Structure 1
Amino acid sequence: MLTLGRYGKEFERRFAALCGAKHAVSVSSGTAALEIALRAVGVEAREVVVPTNSFFATAAAVVHAGARPIFIDMDPASFAIRPEDVERALTSRTAAVVVVHIGGLVSERLPELVELCRRRGVPLIEDAAHAHGSSYRGTMAGAFGLAAAFSLYPTKVMTSAEGGMLVTNDDRIAEEAVIYRDQGKASFLVNAHTRMGYNWRMSEPHAIIGLRHLERLPEMIADRQRIAALYDEALAGFTELRPLGVPAGGVSNYYKYIAVMRERRDRQQLKRELRERFGVSLSGEVYEEPLHKQPVFASYAGAPLAVAEDLCARHICLPIYSGMEDDEARQVIEALAALFD
């Protein structure tokens, strides 16, 4: 079989074990996983609270699932969201809340958010696109909410070339995901369509690639953590640039190493100077522009969201990847020292 075969099932089993979850359902992308989760909890014609600091797909999945995104500001301590901002956004029309683990960092305030959503009876969905292998106080990313969506795009800490994974402890959500990913069919072998699904399947070749990357995930994360430790030590002596810290009890996979500038600078000029003078290329920001400022979401934008508008413009992401050498990290540090301190 080239799709929905034994390799896909094995990948699902092992990925669920990674997250400490009961179910994992392989799909064609992280975006698909998120949209399926939202459809499964029934967001159509309602509202979903969404962080403005996220990738396009987070809000696009809400819109494609038939709901209205309600953008809220970001937490400067984690680049995620604050429970008090979520609570202010909740109404009788709220169908779900989406939290994003930016750069692979799980917020120390996530347990508060879990409790808020439980108390208010609102499903919490994790957009864990960045967070394979990350955790907080022993709970893995993907195991906090009712369901979670992981991306397996090539830029992520691990990949299946293309693909995604929906993770949940809820039997019904898992069953719905299996239906939605295969054109809404009640069964793989029967042409009885019970949901408005789509071709969201993961192929067997993609699952094979994913299995190999999953085997190497601890090693790849360890590489990133080693480089992050070098950056942490060096940036402790900077006054103009500080790292976004991992909370006590947290484990980050360092999909991104985020550093915040004390004062706003021309980021494009800075990136150009680092590249041309020092041979250092910074990673892409998370994110360059908040979602409520994106033209495609203009009709959903409300009041200004000052924290995101400031920090989206005032951070950089240092190069970090599996296989990066210590000398390469030192080259980055020396270049930053020449331009910042």
Structure 2
Amino acid sequence: MGVPAARIVFDESDRRAVADAVTEMLSTGALTLGPWTERFEEAFATEHGATHAVAVASGTAALEIVLRAIDVRGRDVVVPAVTFYATAAAVVHAGGRPVLADIDPDTLALSPGTVEAVLTPATAAVVLVHIGGLITPHVDALRALCDRRGIPLVEDAAHAHGSSYDGRAAGTFGLAGAFSFYPTKVTTSGEGGMILTESAEIRDEARIHRDQGKGAFTANHHIRHGASWRMSEPNAAVGTVHLRRLKEFLETRRRVARRYDAGLAGLDGLRTPVEPAGCRSNYYKYVALLPPGVDRAAFKRAVAEGHGVRLSGEVYDLPLHHQPVFAEYRDARLPVSEDVCARQICLPVHSDMTEDETDQVIEAVSAVHRRLAG
């Protein structure tokens, strides 16, 4: 049997709960900004130890709304070069200018040094991305740096549902955190996003922006340039049901990661992720770096064709300054980002992954490593 790159897990009781919720909302006609949205917001805030949560249409919308609330128009926003397109796109759509910073090779995240190197008097915000669900141990130092400069720290926590550092959850280290519920995420609502914040002002601005900039749900008085960023009630119900499984999913994913750690430890030149002391990752992705010179495409093809193991998509195969849409940044010097993006692979981690599947991946990676890197 093969091991797929990703698997979305809803058991029979989950499916029944979602079906009951949809029947209820179709009976009442409450299909947007109703009781399920409120339940999802309350549950997600509680799960992450946050005061306020605002459900929106996507993780990208969540980040853009936060940046609009800060008002980054005409100003710089620092983002890591190793992140998804949407991190920088949210800055552009909010009227800001992305400024690309290099990353720490051990955490795949910004560091105080890489951020300080690109700060200017025009910097409006810094966006910290938790790649693969790993929270950098430098998060407090980054927050302190931003506080000294009077710059908001915003978290792109699209990968980090349930991840924590020093007992504090992702999304609670900065002014606000933006989460995604795309189908492959650790918990999903089908499509959707969430903003976590301690700021009542950010909460209120987010509620206005998500509903076409209206001052009230029942009025046609538009006070912000918002958009149709609401989360539907069916999506909120799916998210609420799936969130109940988060702790269970995290334990399974962490067991898989520990098995990978042990099984791949002897492969020369293959660098597996290191979870820093105090960090508790959700292992949304298990990011490993191939030895220099190994052809990634050939490696992925060999484990798929020879062993039935599909490696999931990289995070990410191109740094932002190599993306065609950001061609104006192509001459940027970001050597760590370029090296990491060129060599990384992501091993399958499923929320219901079996030991047999995990061992199959270890055997496949080990065999192909011996052939291509030996």
Q: Under a length normalisation based on structure 2, what TM-score does the superposition of the two structures give? A: 0.90
1:299 shift after superposition? 1.9
- Equivalent position to 1:96, from 125, 128, 137: 125
SS at match of 2:98: strand
Residue 196 of structure 2 is aligned to residue 167 of structure 1: yes
* 1:334 Cα deviation from its structure 2 partner: 0.9
Task: Choose from 303, 314, 318 the match for 1:274.
Answer: 303
Q: What whole-Å deviation, never above 9, does each CA across 1:275-304 have from its counterpart, x for those lacking one?
A: 111111111111000001111011244522
**Kept after mapping to 2: 8 A contact 1:3/1:204:** yes
- Please say if residues 256 and 320 of structure 1, whose CA atoms lie closer than 8 Å, have aligned partners that are also in contact: yes
Alignment match, 2:35: 6
Q: Does 2:193 match 1:179?
A: no
CA distance in 1, matches of 2:323, 2:107: 22
Deviation at 1:264, TM superposition (A): 3.1
The answer for the alignment partner of 1:261 in structure 2 is 290
2:20 — aligned with what? none
Is the partner of 1:186 in helix, strand or coil? coil
Q: How does 1:90-239 map to 2 (within 5 A)?
A: 90-239=119-268
Counterpart code for 2:73: E
User: Is 1:242 aligned with 2:267?
Assistant: no
The answer on whether the counterparts of 1:117 and 1:124 sit within 8 Å (CA) in structure 2 is yes
Query: Residues 306-317 of structure 1 correspond to what in structure 2 (within 5 A)?
Result: 306-317=335-346
Choose between structure 1 and 2: higher strand proportion. 1
For residues 220 and 8 of structure 1, the distance between their equivalents in structure 2, rounded to whole angstroms, comes to 22
| One-letter identity of the residue aligned with 1:100 | V
In the alignment, the residues of structure 2 paired with residue 15 and residue 264 of structure 1 have an alpha-carbon distance, to the nearest angstrom, of 43
One-letter amino acid of the structure 2 residue matched with residue 78 of structure 1: T
C-alpha distance in 1 between matches for 2:203 and 2:137: 27
Equivalent residues in 2 for 1:20-39, closer than 5 Å: 20-39=49-68
**TM-score when scaled to structure 1?**
0.98
How far apart are the structure 2 equivalents of 1:222 and 1:275? Answer: 27
- 8 Å CA contact 1:142–1:148 kept in 2: the answer is yes
Q: Is the 8 A contact 1:128 1:148 kept in 2?
A: yes
Aligned to 1:97, the other structure's residue is in SS state strand
- SS of the equivalent of 1:242 reads coil
For the Cα contact (< 8 Å) 1:68–1:300, is it kept in 2? no
Matched-pair contact (CA < 8 Å) for 1:126–1:148: yes
The percentage of counterpart residues that share the same residue type is 57
Deviations 1:89-124 (A, max 9, x none): 111110000000000000011111011001110000
Query: Which stretch shows the higher mean deviation, 298-307 or 38-47?
Result: 298-307
Report which stretch shifted further, 262-271 or 40-49. 262-271
Alpha-carbon RMSD across the aligned residues, in angstroms, is 0.9
Shift of 1:324: 1.0
Q: 1:33-48 alignment to 2 at 5 Å?
A: 33-48=62-77
Q: Which residue in the other structure is 2:369 paired with?
A: 340
Conserved in 1, the CA contact under 8 Å of 2:321 and 2:332?
A: no
- What SS is found at the alignment partner of 1:243? coil
Report how far residue 219 of structure 1 moved: 0.8
For the 8 Å contact 1:224–1:254, the answer to whether it is kept is yes
d(CA) in 1 for partners of 2:346, 2:310: 10
Q: Which moved more, 1:25-34 or 1:257-266?
A: 257-266
Aligned to 1:79: 108
- Look up the SS of the partner of 2:312 in the other structure: coil
Aligned to 1:15: 44
Structure 1 residue 45: Cα displacement: 0.7
Q: Distance in 2 between matches of 1:120 and 1:309?
A: 28
What is the rounded CA distance, in whole Å, between the counterparts of 1:301 and 1:34 in structure 2?
24
d(CA) in 1 for partners of 2:282 and 2:224? 36
Counterpart CA distance in 1 for 2:52 and 2:95 is: 25
TM-superposition CA deviations, 1:237-295 (whole Å, max 9, x none): 22121211110111000000011123232111111111111111111111000001111
Residue 187 (structure 1) shift: 0.4
Shift of 1:234: 1.0
Is the 1:70–1:300 Cα contact (8 Å) retained in structure 2?
A: no
Give 1:323-334 correspondences, 5 Å limit: 323-334=352-363
- Per the TM alignment, residue 74 of structure 1 is displaced from its structure 2 partner at its CA by 1.3
What aligned pairs does 1:279-290 form with structure 2 within 5 A after superposition? 279-290=308-319
Unaligned runs of 5+ in 2: 1-29
